Structure 1
Amino acid sequence: MESLSETTWDVLISGTGLQQSLLALALSRSGKKVLHVDKNGFYGGPDAAFSLQEAEDWVKTVENDTLTSSLFCNVSITSTPQPDQATRSSDSARLAVSRAYCLSLSPQLLYSRSALLPILVSSKVFRQLEFQAVGSWWIYNPLKAVPADASSPIEHSNSSSERTEEAEEHRRREERPPKDRRGELRKVPNGREDIFKDSTIDLKSKRSLMKFLRFVADYESQPDVWESQASSSFSEFLASRFNLPLPLQTPLLALTMTPDTPVETTTGFALPRIARHLRSIGALGPGFGAIIPKWGGGAEISQVACRAGAVGGGVYMLGNNVEAVNLKTENETHTSKRDGGESCEGLAEVQLQNGDKIKTKWIVGSDYDLPALKATSGFGKEISSTRSISVVSSPLPSLFPTITEGAPLAAGAIVVFPPGSLSTETKDVPGEMPPVYLVAHPSNTGECPDGQCVLYASVSAESSRGHTLLDQAIENLLESVDDESTPKVLYQIRYTQTSASSSSDKVQEPEAPPPASSALENVLLFPPPSLDLVFDDSILERVRTFWRMIVGEGGDEGDEGEFMVFEDREGLGVDLSDDE
């Protein structure tokens, strides 16, 4: 067997983040010689998932590594003192062993109509993944005063099974001591039936809302209605075109998952996102439109994709950084498809952290994973999001009501705190404050033990102000849920994540060509991971473009003629899924 240095590699992929891992999956049947390295000792890179101990190690790495800090900064971990064995009321009131947790840096939702799902099916890796339904969207409403005997703040559940559950819950609530609350959670209607049954919406507003829903279901064919306002505020569009007041705009804005204020959220950004949400409901099962991968979200997809790359002959090396790159070392020629197929002379010589020097035709990674190149990728203006991952001492069952009859158990819930719903000590004008999002994952996701829940919080605000908003949102949520006592935050990771602005909020703008290094065409760079709370399908277009450049138009060997369309490997079709 040839050593690494004796092999001429077709592709060196640096980093095992989701983008690089999907490219490794695409190349797994190409017959290409692929060397896949990662400076980290774990898979996933910026999309990884951690046990408690791994999270501690990651924080230390970020604090000491200027390269890692280019994506993450202001990282910290806090945990509450653990109760003594003799005094704790239940296991949920204390942290379990480190490995009982799988805390994800990439808990993005996947809509049922996402372009990624057909790819996972056609590439045959779906057998190694388990997806779970995202249930309800909730909106937090602050209250000036809530009676001590107020009923549960979680309202507007309309199926017969939910009404039966609510009746039993109401009886139990009557037997509990009163609990002060600052606000209530209201469920976002899940369609026309919910809207008509909602007693808080007057008849005129219901008609306006139904008119908008009919429009958005086929908005692409009605450009005369919206294109002139594509760059205008979505709130202004809803008010002027559909006479929708602010209280009815709020749930629609929540469905967009916009990181921006209502004034900054454009019509061209919002319409395709609301349409995506509505069109996805029922595609994979009754009553839900979004799913999440079990065991750590995007991190699990990365691992499965890398596993497929290894089965296809790729060589994997964790804890091995790219130390130096010499882009032209020999007069050997390979073909580039970037500009019509002209040849690109020279192999790149790469020195790895372990001392190996290898030769490769293509180098793929990101600025974050290929610091030796000192490349300027030019992906746009830097943007950031303040985030936290919190383990709480309750399963928060009221966030996960039965979706509808015949639907699977909900494994995710979205809680949106609209601008102005949180009071802070800052002097922010409510309309100028961004929304806060909390994504709740219960124990059936495999991310925490029974009796606990993981809250993924994010807001587009600088670190100090952002964490003030996140802390208050978490506190208000825990006070609002219907538990016998207010749940506690047992453990929390806090950080700021940076990325680059994209064109995803612009109307029908074509995908720009993926940038290469300023020096040579055979260096292909991925952008930083998206900060979107929903999986960004544009990732797949970039992966497809890189794959085509590497294997050639239509493919030239193996069975890779169609992107990510594979036959079952003989003897492996069932065994891989059984290993999970």
Structure 2
Amino acid sequence: MESLSDTLWDVVISGTGLQQSLLALALSRSGKKILHIDPNEFYGGAQAAFSIQDAEQWVGRVSAGHGSLFKSASIVRPEGATTLSSSRAYSLALAPTLIHARSALLSQLVSSRAYRQVEFLAVGSFYIFKQSQDPTQQPSLARIPSTREEVFSTTAISTKAKRLLMKFLKFVLDYESSPQLETWEPHADAPLADLLQQEFKMDAELQTYIITLTLSLDGRISTKDGLAAIRRHLSSMSVYGPGFAALYPKWGGLSEIAQVSCRAGAVGGAVYMLGNGIKETKTIGDEVRLELTSGDTVKARMLVRADESPSDQKGISRLVAVIGSPLKTLFEALVEGAPRPAVAVVAFPAGSLSAADGTASKYPVYLSAHSSDTGECPVGQSVLYFTTMATSCAKEVLERALDAFTGVTGDEKRPQVLFQLQYDQHAGSGILEAEGPIFTFPAPSSSLSFDDSTLEPVREAWTKVMGDAAVASEYLTFEDREGAMDDDDVYE
């Protein structure tokens, strides 16, 4: 076998984040010579999933300034939290992203047959955290109805609001056709809330129900983007089974998809080296010369890497908490024949929480609550992922959200918080950048629902690597390997 230095690699892929890993999957049957490296000792990059011990080590690296996408990482072990299990019993996701059933990512996992290696779980209901107008009453969680049946059966909104909601749901399912088009196009770049108020006469509370379904982090999503997000949610409902519109991969979300994609790359002949980054890069003619941190020098026709420089976009703050409760009422199947959900989403609207000085939260806070069925914690516990836009008081607001939620779980006794991880993350978006034979993926999106635009740079990079062969090749469309399980293709 040729050494690393003697081989002219068709492509060196740096990093095992989702985009790089999907590129490895797409190239896994191309016959190309692929070297896939990562300076980390773990797969997944910004979408990784950690055990408790791994999370502690990661916080140490972030605090020491390694990597630029994350900052202000810290861990809190509350006093008296004695029921935390062994480190490996946890798989805490850095990017707990739900995937709508109509997402192109799922279609690509099906056509590439990679879906066989991933276990998907149902994302259940969406809830709104509601403060009571009566100071003697406790806050509560109100479920957001997103089907005709749910609208008629809910007692959380008035009869008038139900009529308005039904009118809007009917509208959004066909919003790109006339006469609906003429209704919303004048508001296309304005906040969706303006359309809801002016054209549908919705009050602030009903607007919150609608906007929550978009999972907009700043709450000011445009009408054009908001309508697309809501239709995706509605059209995804019951695609893979009754009662749910989105899926979540077991064992750590997008991290699991990244690892499955890398395994496909390895089966296809790619060479993998974790804990090995790039120390120096030189372009000589049509080749890239790389000096690795291991001391090896390699040459390649192409280098594909990820952008890890902070962007000008506003970042996000996250709080991950493990609590000692299974949250049974949150993970109940509410539709006959539906699978038991493993994930539930709770929105704390802007202004519903406040800092110690009384300053109301400027942005909504989203909670993605995960049961032990996700494989991210032991039975009898749950993992809570809180996310909001980064501000000077975001950390305090997230802690207030955690305290508020543990007071409305329906448990007889407030659940104990066993572990907390907090961090800030720079947001990313953009296109594949090219400089000669070097291609750079944009920094990962901070969207709470998988953004299909993430897939476009991957296909573009695949086209660059494949060259003329891309014309005769079908992108991410593979037959089963010999000896693969002949399962029913339930996702087709």
Give the structure 2 partner of residue 338 of structure 1. none
Give the structure 2 partner of residue 177 of structure 1. none
Instruction: Compute the displacement of 1:192 (Å).
Output: 1.3
1:241 paired with 2:196, answer no
CA 1:458–1:531 in structure 2 vs 1: closer, same or farther (change >3 Å)? same
Instruction: Compute the displacement of 1:573 (Å).
Output: 4.4
Instruction: Compute the displacement of 1:266 (Å).
Output: 1.7
- In the TM superposition, 1:198-217 aligns within 5 A as 198-217=154-173
Q: Which of residues 119, 123, 128 in structure 1 aligns to 2:112?
A: 123
Give the structure 2 partner of residue 291 of structure 1. 247
After TM superposition, the structure 1 stretch with the greater mean CA deviation from structure 2, 271-280 or 199-208, is: 199-208
Instruction: Compute the displacement of 1:402 (Å).
Output: 1.6
Give the structure 1 partner of residue 99 of structure 2. 110
Instruction: Compute the displacement of 1:533 (Å).
Output: 0.4
CA contact (8 A) 1:36 1:316 kept: yes
Q: Aligned partners of 2:223, 2:371: CA distance in 1, in Å?
A: 34
Larger Rg: 1
CA contact (8 A) 1:288 1:403 kept: no
Q: Aligned partners of 2:259, 2:161: CA distance in 1, in Å?
A: 47
Give the structure 2 partner of residue 562 of structure 1. 474
1:453 paired with 2:411, answer no
Give the structure 2 partner of residue 252 of structure 1. 210
Q: Aligned partners of 1:288, 1:568: CA distance in 2, in Å?
A: 29
Instruction: Compute the displacement of 1:552 (Å).
Output: 2.0
- List per-residue Cα deviations over 1:208-251 (Å, max 9, x = no partner): 22111111001111321111101112111111111111111111
Give the structure 1 partner of residue 183 of structure 2. 225
- List per-residue Cα deviations over 1:107-154 (Å, max 9, x = no partner): 10000000011111111111110000001111001124465xx7xxxx
Q: Aligned partners of 1:531, 1:124: CA distance in 2, in Å?
A: 27
Query: The residue matched to 2:410 in structure 1 has which SS?
Result: coil
Give the structure 1 partner of residue 236 of structure 2. 280
- List per-residue Cα deviations over 1:313-355 (Å, max 9, x = no partner): 0000000010111111xxxxxxxxxxxxxxxx42111111111
Give the structure 2 partner of residue 172 of structure 1. none
Instruction: Compute the displacement of 1:423 (Å).
Output: 2.8
Instruction: Compute the displacement of 1:265 (Å).
Output: 2.4
Query: The residue matched to 1:113 in structure 2 has which SS?
Result: coil
Give the structure 2 partner of residue 363 of structure 1. 303
Give the structure 2 partner of residue 539 of structure 1. 454
CA contact (8 A) 2:429 2:443 kept: no
CA 1:278–1:353 in structure 2 vs 1: closer, same or farther (change >3 Å)? same
Letter in 2 for 1:126: Y
Instruction: Compute the displacement of 1:553 (Å).
Output: 4.5
CA 1:561–1:434 in structure 2 vs 1: closer, same or farther (change >3 Å)? same
Q: Aligned partners of 1:315, 1:202: CA distance in 2, in Å?
A: 60
Q: Aligned partners of 2:459, 2:33: CA distance in 1, in Å?
A: 18
Letter in 2 for 1:482: G
Instruction: Compute the displacement of 1:428 (Å).
Output: 4.0
Instruction: Compute the displacement of 1:381 (Å).
Output: 2.7
Give the structure 1 partner of residue 39 of structure 2. 39
Query: The residue matched to 2:393 in structure 1 has which SS?
Result: helix
CA contact (8 A) 1:322 1:350 kept: yes
Query: The residue matched to 1:244 in structure 2 has which SS?
Result: coil
CA 1:42–1:219 in structure 2 vs 1: closer, same or farther (change >3 Å)? same
Letter in 2 for 1:26: A
How big is the alpha-carbon RMSD for the aligned residues of Structure 1 and Structure 2? 1.8
CA contact (8 A) 2:429 2:444 kept: no
Letter in 2 for 1:516: A
Q: Aligned partners of 1:501, 1:38: CA distance in 2, in Å?
A: 21
- In the TM superposition, 1:148-547 aligns within 5 A as 181=138, 183-221=139-177, 222-261=180-219, 264-328=220-284, 345-368=285-308, 381-426=312-357, 428=359, 433-462=362-391, 464-501=392-429, 514-517=432-435, 520=436, 522-547=437-462
Instruction: Compute the displacement of 1:483 (Å).
Output: 0.5
Letter in 2 for 1:423: S
Q: Aligned partners of 2:485, 2:4: CA distance in 1, in Å?
A: 30
Query: The residue matched to 1:480 in structure 2 has which SS?
Result: coil
Q: Aligned partners of 2:150, 2:447: CA distance in 1, in Å?
A: 28
Query: The residue matched to 1:359 in structure 2 has which SS?
Result: strand
Report the number of matched residues: 485
Instruction: Compute the displacement of 1:427 (Å).
Output: 5.6
Query: The residue matched to 2:291 in structure 1 has which SS?
Result: strand
Q: Aligned partners of 1:58, 1:200: CA distance in 2, in Å?
A: 42
Give the structure 1 partner of residue 70 of structure 2. 72
Letter in 1 for 2:433: P
Q: Aligned partners of 1:206, 1:24: CA distance in 2, in Å?
A: 48
Query: The residue matched to 2:20 in structure 1 has which SS?
Result: helix
Query: The residue matched to 1:212 in structure 2 has which SS?
Result: helix
Letter in 1 for 2:184: W
CA contact (8 A) 1:383 1:501 kept: no
Query: The residue matched to 2:307 in structure 1 has which SS?
Result: coil
Give TM-score, length-normalised by structure 2: 0.95
CA contact (8 A) 1:229 1:237 kept: yes
Letter in 1 for 2:38: D
Q: Aligned partners of 1:228, 1:398: CA distance in 2, in Å?
A: 42
Q: Aligned partners of 1:542, 1:403: CA distance in 2, in Å?
A: 39
- List per-residue Cα deviations over 1:430-489 (Å, max 9, x = no partner): 6xx100001000101100001100000110032x41111111111111001111100121
CA 1:486–1:320 in structure 2 vs 1: closer, same or farther (change >3 Å)? same
Query: The residue matched to 2:32 in structure 1 has which SS?
Result: coil
Give the structure 2 partner of residue 87 of structure 1. none
- List per-residue Cα deviations over 1:275-303 (Å, max 9, x = no partner): 11100001000010001000000000000
Give the structure 1 partner of residue 490 of structure 2. none
